[in-house]
Amino acid sequence: MLLVLFKRFLRKTVPTDTVETKAKESLLKNTKSMQSLTPEQTVLQIQQGDELLRERFIASYKPYIAKVTSRFCKRYVNASRDDEYSVALIAFNEAISQFSPESGRSFLGFAETVIRRRLIDYVRREQRHLSSVPYSTFERLDDEEQLYNPVELKQALAAYELNSTADERRLEMGEFNQELLKFGVSFAELVDASPKHADSRKMLMRTAAILAEDAAMFGQLKLTGKLPVKALTEASGLSRKTIERNRKYMIAIACILRGTYPFLKDYLDLDDWQREASKEAE
């Protein structure tokens, strides 16, 4: 239902203090030490038994792990709810234990290979219902001399992505709806708030992109729940009346641009507007 309303809105056809103090000091020491070492040097130090450094190292590379996982899955992966991220996190830890500098490879390159291999295994386990037609003639060796089948993998990923995408879209729409409610805006209202003419929508999308890219203006919006009309008027050239009249529409677009809503952003084709707003901000 939310997706239907969204399409109509767009009008598109498509312990103790002492212990705590010591822990903080140790943590700070490990952090500074890690920052002065290369990933390869840090991994070797971890392999010598520094488990606290292992925890800090993994924590610092969580964005990298999420990026590799999202690239493999060809969609945004949420670290708090997606099993794929957990699989990748375990694989990264495994890579720390298995890495050898004698291999001649960088640690991050090695870690990505291990993550990809474990994700392939995961997808295969999830797709056991697929036909067991032999594709042995298509088998290949990957960078680590491990056999894999590109045809089988492609089929498994396609079926898996079809199922997971629908769930991701529903969750994303629910999250977006909850964010809008913080500004007193509902999906039903957006249907009527959407400009009827394409030129008007483009103009307002461009203005919303400026709002999303300006940290001060967007921060004021989040803090007060109100559009920074004066600042937005000066930055966009639109009249105060136009901005106030299209408040709900621009808040919705700015929230999509600023938030983690890959499906909605792709549906809106908003990347061009965001790039244009970034250039204007520079």
Of residues 149 and 82, which shows the higher confidence score? 82
Q: pLDDT at residue 24 above 70?
A: no
d(CA 227, CA 243): 9
Distance CA 263, CA 173 (A): 9
Mean pLDDT value across residues 2-10: 60
Q: What is the largest CA-CA distance in the chain?
A: 67
The model's pTM:
0.45
SS3 content of the chain, % helix, strand, coil (to 5): 75, 0, 25
pLDDT by residue (tens digit) across 217-253? Answer: 999 998 998 999 999 999 999 999 999 999 999 999 9
Q: Which tens digit of pLDDT belongs to each residue from 163-206?
A: 566 667 777 888 888 888 888 888 777 777 788 888 888 899 89
What pLDDT, on a 0 to 100 scale, did the predictor assign at position 44?
93
Distance CA 70, CA 225 (A): 32
CA distances from 14 to 51, 87, 176, 192, 196 (A): 51, 35, 20, 19, 16
Which among 80-94, 138-152, 155-169 has the top mean pLDDT? 80-94
Q: Is the pLDDT of residue 264 over 60?
A: yes
Lookup result for tokens 């292992």? 54
Position 2 scores a pLDDT of 58
Please list, in sequence order, all residues whose beta carbon lies within 8 angstroms of the beta carbon of residue 210, skipping any fewer than 6 positions away.
Answer: 217, 232, 235, 236, 277, 280, 281
Type of residue numbered 212: A
Amino acid sitting at position 45: Q
